[in-house]
Structure 1
Amino acid sequence: MEDLTGVRNPDLSTSMCSNKLKQDHDVVLVMVPFPAQGHLNQLLHLACFISSSYDLPVYYVGTATHNRQARVRANALSPSDIAKIHFHDIPTPEFASPPPDSNASSKFPRHLLPLWDASMLLREPIASFLCDFSSKARRIVVVHDPSMSYIVQDASSFPNAESYLFNCISAFYLYCFSCSFSGMSFQLGEELLKKLPSFEGTMPDELMNFIALQGPYLDLTSGDIHNTSKVIEGQFLDLLAQVKGKQQWAIGPILPTKFDCISNRTDICLEWLNKQPSRSVLYVSFGTTTTFSDREVMELAMGLELNKQKFIWVLREADRGDIFTGEARRVELPEGFEERVKEVGLVVREWAPQPEILAHSSTGGFMSHCGWNSCVESITMGVPIAAWPMHGDQPNNGFLVTEILKIGLTVREWEKREEIVSASTIENVVRKLMTSEEGDAIRKRAQELGVAVKRSVEKGGASRIELDSFIAHITR
């Protein structure tokens, strides 16, 4: 075994193995997600799709708390598909779960750092779990988040196990990150390079150190899977393949592209959307790691009210490390705001069915933090984005959306990230996206790209061919 100094013992004792499994398997997939909502969600979607489409046993391995989180927030997945997944709950290590700081100078969710540090304690229980399979399956295939590379390293100690990275971030960001921190030159074009946002302020030193701890174990993997499509990022997937030197599979988007029962689902957002004109509603949501200050909320509220554009606004605090503990701050709106906008807007303070909202015919735009999960959902549903990145990979994702794919507008430049975005700026961006000729052209490009992306996951499409190739490879 290994402590956090990185000293590895290659002789993992088989005495750990308890052979608890009652049934022999041919090929078993083991999904190991990073404990953050956008990562939990994407790997659960992949688990369900592989289980239902290829009839392979899939185990979803994480702490009891975060496996529960993945299940209760399983947007757009059918209960019958989730029921096929074998959830293996590891006892949750103790960690601090403080509330987010709404007045912090940086939007990075530092309050989640204790959780991510605690995730490093999962190595031994995961090694033990894999050992249970070592004599019961012909092959164990571990699919894991790059940020869990340290804790799944023992997969390489079993002769019948192999591991693959599942990248929950864009190929564009991964390429930019690789170039920036290896000193390689960007193959991007002079004009785009001038506008490319810097990595300054995207993440704190603590996270960089956490990422660095994963580095030595990335080479133990047999290849990379990407939640993107060649239709979206073909150029950057090709460049990344040159950098990586291992086999790459672009199998995304990993989400349902059709919602047959969307009009029958009982949900306040969908019921409200059913009453609105086509492409008339702006969906406003900043994911699970963004917290606005009272001043920022006031400016956004005034901007939406001044604009008079129909909207659904998901107004929530960032997640705690443990979403089931502690009481979330109730974000206050201007006095009388909800009454004044009741004919044009809906404020939602609970968990919202984002994929279904974006797929709804009444949704015409998405004001987003540009987390990759949100970008993929919006692109797939053909909805243009008002890009307002907050931290991490989001500035690069916003750049991809606005400058390369040209299916969105920028709310705030990354260089001005510490400035308050004014109500007038928000009003102008929303008006341009939703009611101008420029916005119509952007929406048309977004819709065309969405059609192409949906085709890519159908039989014979680029992403489906890639997924079939990956499944054939691991079941060889």
Structure 2
Amino acid sequence: MANEVVVVMVPFLAQGHLNQLLHLSRLISTYNIPIHFISTATHNRQVRIRLHGWNPNNNLIQFHDLDDPIVTPHPIIPNTTSHPNFPTHLQPYFNSSLLLRTPVADVIRSVSQTARKVAVIHDSLMSYVVQDVCLIPNAETYIFRGLSVFYYFCSTNMNLGRELPFEPDKICQLPAPGESISPEFSEFIKLQYDHQKNHVGNVYDSSRIIEGKFVESLKRDQVNGKYHWAVGPFNPVEMDSDCLDRHICLQWLDKQPARSVLYVSFGTTTTFTSDQIAELALGLERSTQRFLWVLRDADKGDGSVGVKAAGPSHEKPLFDNYQTLHSTCRSVGLPEGVAGRGLVVREWAPQIDILGHLSTGGFVSHCGWNSCMEAMTAGVAVATWPIHTDQPYNAILLSNVLGVAVVMRDWEHRDELLTSVMVEKVVRKLMDTEVGEAVRKRAAELGGEWRKSMADGGVTHEDLNSLISYIHK
């Protein structure tokens, strides 16, 4: 056999999930284990273009480009009071993943002929796709669960009709089962359940440093002996500061005082209305705080990774009378009174580098799990603004459980316009009050504690070693 053990990654067709398993590929490859990363040609291209913090072009990571299924996309509809916040425009792409069952199995069978053992780490949302792995004698599956352990803990107990061990005011801020996703996506999730029985264990992009009690609770509740490995952060925490080709926003951050800039970004699945964009812009302007705002439409699902995505229907309220800066990079400056202390970037931006920059002091976030992980490991406090799925749970975890966030928008008022008055108030609270300073200090302390746990002998490093040892069995 050419290889003793190989790992096959099967990510879900969404940027956050692709990103996580590619970062996990980096971690596992440091143990000199070959990685086979399987996705469509479009999504492999997307995740590689957006990757930063390390170079995926090493000899241990091989990408397998599958043919792209034919998809009829839905239009992007900005979040409104009359439309669910869930990104339903991506559902056709989610459904198209079901067509990958045969080509994924073919790749895994081919790989299995060159190794003693194949460990298939697949997204929980690709369980249907990998169902044929059980027919390959020298292959076994591991489920990657891409959301917070807190989310799985809460949703599992809610679905079983159990009371959550939190104060009533915390519980009322959590969505009811199914409330934060669309009915179509709920059916897609249910389709995966019958194919989640034969896996070895569960792999989380998390750490016992932040979610140990929830990991242990899930372990106690499972009577089928599955393993639970919390081996995050998957994302790198040490950046290459000597890179010559630095993004324009990093060059701008270089000129700002330490911990003075508020970073504002809502991930790859959120599109706001014109009115909400205008209120957010006005609140940031009136806060008098420095800020870096990534303003772009949600991903379309077709692999468009570049850029200025905001359409004409909701571009005008923000950009009337705004002067243009760095037009070649599709960035814009703010009105005369704010120029110099604010920058809006209308393209995808290198978030890990931004959060790790010395000038970044806070983060207004939708609380997607990638963003939460990247913020916490960088030691950056968050102002929470959850939109859908696990995000309301993550917001509670950060603010009420871990104490590293303040609340900008709670789930109960998700369908209301968040006014510039509230934006200004919360931005000032995080960046310029004693309460905010305490939260920012706690975030920095937690980040330091977490990074120490990744060194030899630390609890996070030990969980990773345990996973690697099992893969080698």
Q: Same fold (TM over 0.5)?
A: yes
Distance across 2 between alignment mates of 1:411 and 1:162: 43
Moved more, 374-383 or 135-144: 135-144
Distance across 2 between alignment mates of 1:272 and 1:398: 29
Distance across 2 between alignment mates of 1:263 and 1:140: 36
Distance across 2 between alignment mates of 1:364 and 1:262: 22
Alignment-derived partner of residue 294 in structure 2: 314
Alpha-carbon offset, residue 342 of structure 1: 1.6
Moved more, 234-243 or 297-306: 234-243
Q: RMSD of aligned C-alpha atoms?
A: 1.8
Gaps of 5+ in 2: 323-333
Q: Is the 8 A contact 2:144 2:204 kept in 1?
A: yes
In structure 2, the residue corresponding to 1:198 is in which secondary structure? coil
Distance across 2 between alignment mates of 1:260 and 1:135: 38
Moved more, 244-253 or 195-204: 195-204
Alignment-mate amino acid for residue 73 of structure 2: S
Of the three residues 147, 158, 164, the one matched with 1:186 is: 164
Alignment-mate amino acid for residue 271 of structure 1: Q
Alpha-carbon offset, residue 334 of structure 1: 4.3
Q: Deviations over 1:395-452 (max 9, x none)?
A: 0000101110111111112111110000000000000000000000000000000001
Distance across 2 between alignment mates of 1:393 and 1:453: 22
Number of equivalences: 452
Distance across 2 between alignment mates of 1:325 and 1:461: 37
Correspondence 1:475 to 2:472: yes
Moved more, 69-78 or 202-211: 69-78
Of the three residues 205, 208, 223, the one matched with 2:186 is: 208
Q: Deviations over 1:161-184 (max 9, x none)?
A: 100011111000011111112323
Alignment-derived partner of residue 19 in structure 1: none
Distance across 1 between alignment mates of 2:144 and 2:189: 15
Distance across 2 between alignment mates of 1:393 and 1:235: 18
Correspondence 1:140 to 2:101: no
Distance across 1 between alignment mates of 2:298 and 2:70: 20
Alignment-derived partner of residue 408 in structure 1: 405
In structure 2, the residue corresponding to 1:272 is in which secondary structure? helix
Correspondence 1:248 to 2:228: yes
Distance across 2 between alignment mates of 1:243 and 1:126: 32
Distance across 1 between alignment mates of 2:176 and 2:399: 16
Distance across 2 between alignment mates of 1:325 and 1:36: 12
Q: Is the 8 A contact 1:48 1:84 kept in 2?
A: no
Q: Is the 8 A contact 1:358 1:383 kept in 2?
A: yes
Distance across 2 between alignment mates of 1:201 and 1:318: 21
In structure 2, the residue corresponding to 1:218 is in which secondary structure? coil
Alignment-mate amino acid for residue 66 of structure 2: I
Match runs of 1:4-403 below 5 Å: 24-51=2-29, 53-81=30-58, 84-102=60-78, 104=80, 105-189=83-167, 192-199=170-177, 201-245=179-223, 246-261=226-241, 264-324=244-304, 328-330=309-311, 331-332=315-316, 333-337=318-322, 338-340=334-336, 341-403=338-400
Q: Is the 8 A contact 1:262 1:356 kept in 2?
A: no
Alpha-carbon offset, residue 261 of structure 1: 2.1
Alpha-carbon offset, residue 339 of structure 1: 3.2
Distance across 2 between alignment mates of 1:120 and 1:377: 30
Distance across 2 between alignment mates of 1:261 and 1:329: 30
Alignment-mate amino acid for residue 282 of structure 1: L
Distance across 1 between alignment mates of 2:280 and 2:217: 38
Alignment-mate amino acid for residue 102 of structure 2: E
Distance across 1 between alignment mates of 2:304 and 2:258: 37
Distance across 1 between alignment mates of 2:386 and 2:53: 25
Q: Deviations over 1:214-249 (max 9, x none)?
A: 001111211001100110111111111123341101
Distance across 2 between alignment mates of 1:185 and 1:424: 36
Distance across 2 between alignment mates of 1:200 and 1:45: 29
Correspondence 1:465 to 2:462: yes
Q: Deviations over 1:454-476 (max 9, x none)?
A: 11112221111111111011102
Distance across 1 between alignment mates of 2:69 and 2:173: 43
Alpha-carbon offset, residue 198 of structure 1: 3.3
Alignment-derived partner of residue 428 in structure 2: 431
Alpha-carbon offset, residue 301 of structure 1: 0.4
Alignment-mate amino acid for residue 235 of structure 2: L
Q: Could you list the runs of 4 or more consecutive aligned residues of structure 1 that deviate by over 6 angstroms after TM superposition?
A: none
TM-score normalised per structure 2:
0.92
Moved more, 304-313 or 253-262: 253-262
Q: Is the 8 A contact 1:98 1:321 kept in 2?
A: no
Alpha-carbon offset, residue 24 of structure 1: 2.4
Alignment-derived partner of residue 327 in structure 2: none
Q: Is the 8 A contact 2:33 2:60 kept in 1?
A: no
Distance across 2 between alignment mates of 1:365 and 1:298: 21
Alpha-carbon offset, residue 315 of structure 1: 0.3
Moved more, 191-200 or 262-271: 191-200
In structure 2, the residue corresponding to 1:129 is in which secondary structure? helix
Q: Deviations over 1:345-384 (max 9, x none)?
A: 0000111110010001110000000000000000000000
Q: Is the 8 A contact 1:251 1:463 kept in 2?
A: yes
Q: Is the 8 A contact 2:50 2:305 kept in 1?
A: no
In structure 1, the residue corresponding to 2:70 is in which secondary structure? coil
Alpha-carbon offset, residue 115 of structure 1: 0.4
Alignment-mate amino acid for residue 202 of structure 2: D
Distance across 1 between alignment mates of 2:353 and 2:115: 38
Percent of residue pairs bearing the same amino acid type: 45
Alpha-carbon offset, residue 48 of structure 1: 1.7
Q: Deviations over 1:266-289 (max 9, x none)?
A: 211111111111110000000000
